[in-house]
Amino acid sequence: MGNGGRTGHAYRQLIRLVKGRPDGWLCCRCRGAIDPGYRNPHPQSWSLDHLVPLAHGGPLLDPANAAAAHLTCNSKHGNSIKTIKQTIITTQVW
């Protein structure tokens, strides 16, 4: 296999990358904040959402196909093609 799938080093790097983005702790589904105090399997915990589901040929390790989501929001959408709520991310505090 080589890349280790969802348990390998490359997948863990992808998770770190997504969490480090300006929107890394905002749910791409509901746009609500994800509390870092919640751990899986809490419904409001952080999870990695594949925007194009793996079942539909979405790439597992492509950062452009990865976003943060509440576990419950991610699970609710399953493997359907999803619409992402767009927001403007403020990178500077005024």
Which tens digit of pLDDT belongs to each residue from 48-84?
A: 999 999 999 999 999 999 999 999 999 998 887 755 6
| Residue 47 domain-assigned (yes or no) | yes
| Residue 38 domain-assigned (yes or no) | yes
**What b/e readout covers 51-83, taking b as 16+ CB neighbours within 10 angstroms?**
bebeeeebebbeeebbbbbbbbbbeebeeeebe
| Residue 25 domain-assigned (yes or no) | yes
| Residue 31 domain-assigned (yes or no) | yes
Q: Tell me 70's DSSP state.
A: E
Cα(15)–Cα(83) distance, rounded to whole angstroms? Answer: 21
Which tens digit of pLDDT belongs to each residue from 34-50?
A: 999 999 999 999 999 99
Residue 68's domain spans which residues?
5-77
Total count of domains within the chain: 1
- Residue 53's alpha-carbon distances to 3, 7, 37, 41, 80, in angstroms, are 18, 18, 27, 20, 7
| Residue 94 domain-assigned (yes or no) | no
pTM, full prediction: 0.80
| Residue 91 domain-assigned (yes or no) | no
